Amino acid sequence: MVTVAVPSRLAPAAVKPTGSGPGKRTPDGSGAGAGVPEDATVFDTDVPAVRNLDRDLADALRRAAGEAQREGVAFVVNSGWRSAEHQERLLRDAIRRYGSRAEAARWVATPSTSAHVAGEAVDLGPSAATAWLSEHGAAHGLCQIYRNEPWHFELRPDAVDDGCPRMYADPTQDPRMQQ
């Protein structure tokens, strides 16, 4: 099993805790998609970031999480569905953080191109979970899409038979981001 560590200076703002105070995340009961409880799992359907995921993605995640749990690995949802407003805030924060829109685009999509806004992506942790999914996710149609984001997974149903598609280096290489 391979564990990938991402230096904190490279980790996007999107996966950092949000809420009041350092390291605190709060559920966003308003449905704005801004916060996820620190211990949220793919089974927590009362959390908007989980509840608003695409149904097929959520089902595949739950099947995979159940299998992983039997092996002692737990999936924690760091981010799932996001509102367009929250995605726009993440983009503005990333532009400030990375100094340019072009560099920010390596980590954060626009609201109109984000798979998170569409409910079609999930960011998971801890590293044991992402390593487990990297090894076993294709059997559930779950694939890492970007080489620079080992926590970001999307549903690719064909992966069950054909394996996951080749990863993009980062979102700037993804044709879906060129809209």
Read off the pLDDT of each residue in 146-160 and give the average, rounded to a whole number. 97
Domain 25-83+118-178, architecture per CATH? 2-Layer Sandwich (3.30)
Report percent pLDDT > 70 for the chain.
Answer: 80
DSSP one-letter string for 146-177: BTT-TTEEEE-TTHHHH-PPPPBSSGGG-GGG
- Contacts for 15 with CB less than 8 Å, ≥ 6 apart: 78, 79, 123, 125, 151
Tokens, residue 167: 């990863």
Q: What is the mean pLDDT of the chain?
A: 84
The 10 Å Cβ neighbour count of residue 95 is: 16
pLDDT at 22 over 50: no
Position 34 confidence tier, pLDDT thresholds 50, 70, 90? low
- Does the pTM exceed 0.85? no
Per domain, the residue ranges of the chain are 25-83+118-178
pLDDT for 56-112, tens place per residue? 999 999 999 999 999 999 999 999 999 999 999 999 999 999 999 999 999 999 999
pLDDT at 23 over 80: no
